[in-house]
Amino acid sequence: MTVEERAQPVRAVAGTGRRGRILAAAAVLLGLVLLLHRLIPNTVGNVGSLVETFLPWLGLFVPLLLAGALLRRSAVAAVAAVLPVVVWLGMFGGTVVDKSGPAGDLTFVSHNVGAANPDPAGTARGLAVSGADVVALQELTGSARGTYEDALADTYPFHVVMGTVGLWSRLPLSDTRPVDVALDTTRALRATVATGEGPLVVYVAHLGSVRVFPRNGFWTQSRDAGIAALDRALAADRADRVVLLGDLNGTMDDRAFAGLTDRLQPVQEAAGAGFGFSWPASFPVVRSDQILVHGLTPDRAWVLPATGSDHLPVAATVSLPGRGDPAQPDT
């Protein structure tokens, strides 16, 4: 065997090692992005918020890394891929577990019914038989409003519509008023629901849209202004029991909602089974439709079947503390 022939296996091993190191570096980088996503800056194109919007989906890169490690026969890359697996499970392992509890006192449904919904009557009929006690709708149009009012009237004798949002309830409503979310039209309201255990304040909101532009990145200016306005309204509200229902155009992993989630608890995280993705309805990849609570115990959270909207309805059941029970602490 010549010197050159003996050198060929050495070069092959070295090349495999280098390729393995590249895969290992990619695995470590993925783990760090998951673990330290709050450190990704938003100064250029809102990259941090964009990554956080799709944060759970970063786990899909792990099988690719493992396949690459197997293909390259790289133990180093395979071991390194354990890091993002551990981090992902630490962050989202509890989310995929079914945390549903016993039936609660009240069931809420929130649905962006879609301005372009071709079948508002069918959507309304589906909501009427959902079993919900309170239904919040967003993106109501003037032409479809009457359809929803007629179809829901028998099941929900109390309702209020302001701008493009509405609330339907089996229980009496009072103190209804619009809420400013930094938009030209009314897209949020506040109402008090009379329950057997005392008043419950319900907010319905449809925050500004977000967009991804090739040059400017993740545009969230309108939505973020709405978050700030909604947060101020909640901070000024002295109610012990609060429910926020609506299309917030963002996920609760996005740092923009940190102030909101300091005040209210997302029910999907507390009592859901899985991520509860709600948009787009044809193949949901994010949960932009939210139910958050304060002073209540989340018992169950789930997603309802598709309607004619491009969003899926989301639902939750909660328990009410008795009149003499102390309100839950801030979450």
Q: Tell me, what CATH number does 207's domain have?
A: 3.60.10.10
Asked if residue 253 and residue 152 are part of one domain, the reply reads yes
- Structural domain ending residue among the three candidates 96, 121, 151: 96
**pLDDT, position 221:** 96
Asked if residue 241 and residue 146 are part of one domain, the reply reads yes
Asked if residue 110 and residue 91 are part of one domain, the reply reads no
293 vs 13, residue with greater confidence: 293
Residue in this structure with the two tokens 């493009």, named with its chain if needed: 164
Which range (75-84, 224-233, 280-289, 292-301) has the least confidence?
Answer: 75-84
And the tokens for 237? 């509200």
Asked if residue 281 and residue 141 are part of one domain, the reply reads yes
CB 292 within 8 A of CB 267: yes
Instruction: Identify the band that residue 29 occupies on the pLDDT scale cut at 50, 70 and 90.
Output: very high
**Cis omega before residue 199 (within 30°)?**
no
Span 313-319, average pLDDT = 97
CB 306 within 8 A of CB 280: no
Per-residue pLDDT tens digits for 54-83: 999 999 999 999 999 989 888 999 999 999
Span 137-165, average pLDDT = 98
Asked if residue 142 and residue 284 are part of one domain, the reply reads yes
Provide the residue range defining the domain that includes 123.
Answer: 106-319
Residue 328 within a domain: no
CB 256 within 8 A of CB 214: no
- Structural domain ending residue among the three candidates 70, 96, 122: 96
Q: How far is it, in rounded angstroms, from Cα 275 to Cα 273?
A: 7
Asked if residue 297 and residue 196 are part of one domain, the reply reads yes
Residue 265 within a domain: yes
Handedness of CA 131, 132, 138, 142 (dihedral sign): positive
Q: Name 114's Cβ contacts closer than 8 Å, sequence gap at least 6.
A: 139, 308, 309, 310, 311
Q: Measured in whole angstroms, how far is the alpha carbon of residue 91 from the centre of its chain?
A: 15
Asked if residue 306 and residue 259 are part of one domain, the reply reads yes
Q: Name 139's Cβ contacts closer than 8 Å, sequence gap at least 6.
A: 112, 113, 114, 115, 164, 206, 247, 309
Q: How far is it, in rounded angstroms, from Cα 138 to Cα 289?
A: 10
Residue 19 in this model has a pLDDT that exceeds 70: no
**pLDDT, position 38:** 96
Asked if residue 143 and residue 271 are part of one domain, the reply reads yes
Q: How far is it, in rounded angstroms, from Cα 324 to Cα 246?
A: 30
Residue 329 within a domain: no
**pLDDT, position 304:** 98
Residue 236 exposure: Cα atoms within 13 Å on the Cβ side:
9
Task: Give the number of domains in the chain.
Answer: 2
Residue 73 within a domain: yes
Q: How far is it, in rounded angstroms, from Cα 64 to Cα 56?
A: 15
Q: How many CB atoms lie within 10 A of CB 11?
A: 9
Asked if residue 48 and residue 83 are part of one domain, the reply reads yes
Residue 326 within a domain: no
Residue 330 within a domain: no
Residue 139 in this model has a pLDDT that exceeds 60: yes
Q: How many CB atoms lie within 10 A of CB 133?
A: 20
Longest dimension (CA), the chain: 93
Sequence letter at residue 166: G
Pinpoint the alpha helices (H) of the chain: 3-35, 47-53, 61-72, 75-80, 82-96, 120-128, 142-152, 221-236, 258-263, 267-271
Q: Please tell me whether residue 255 adopts helix, strand or coil conformation.
A: helix
Residue 324 in this model has a pLDDT that exceeds 70: no
Residue 245 within a domain: yes
Cα 201 to Cα 107, 174, 252, distances in angstroms: 14, 10, 21
- Structural domain ending residue among the three candidates 72, 96, 120: 96
Listed in order, strand segments (DSSP E) in 117-235 are 134-138, 158-162, 165-169, 173-178, 188-195, 198-206, 211-213, 217-219
Residue 327 in this model has a pLDDT that exceeds 60: no
**pLDDT, position 15:** 52
Asked if residue 146 and residue 29 are part of one domain, the reply reads no
Residue 325 within a domain: no
Asked if residue 117 and residue 91 are part of one domain, the reply reads no
And the tokens for 168? 């339907």
Asked if residue 79 and residue 124 are part of one domain, the reply reads no
And the tokens for 12? 């092959």
Residue 328 in this model has a pLDDT that exceeds 50: no
Q: How far is it, in rounded angstroms, from Cα 318 to Cα 173?
A: 18
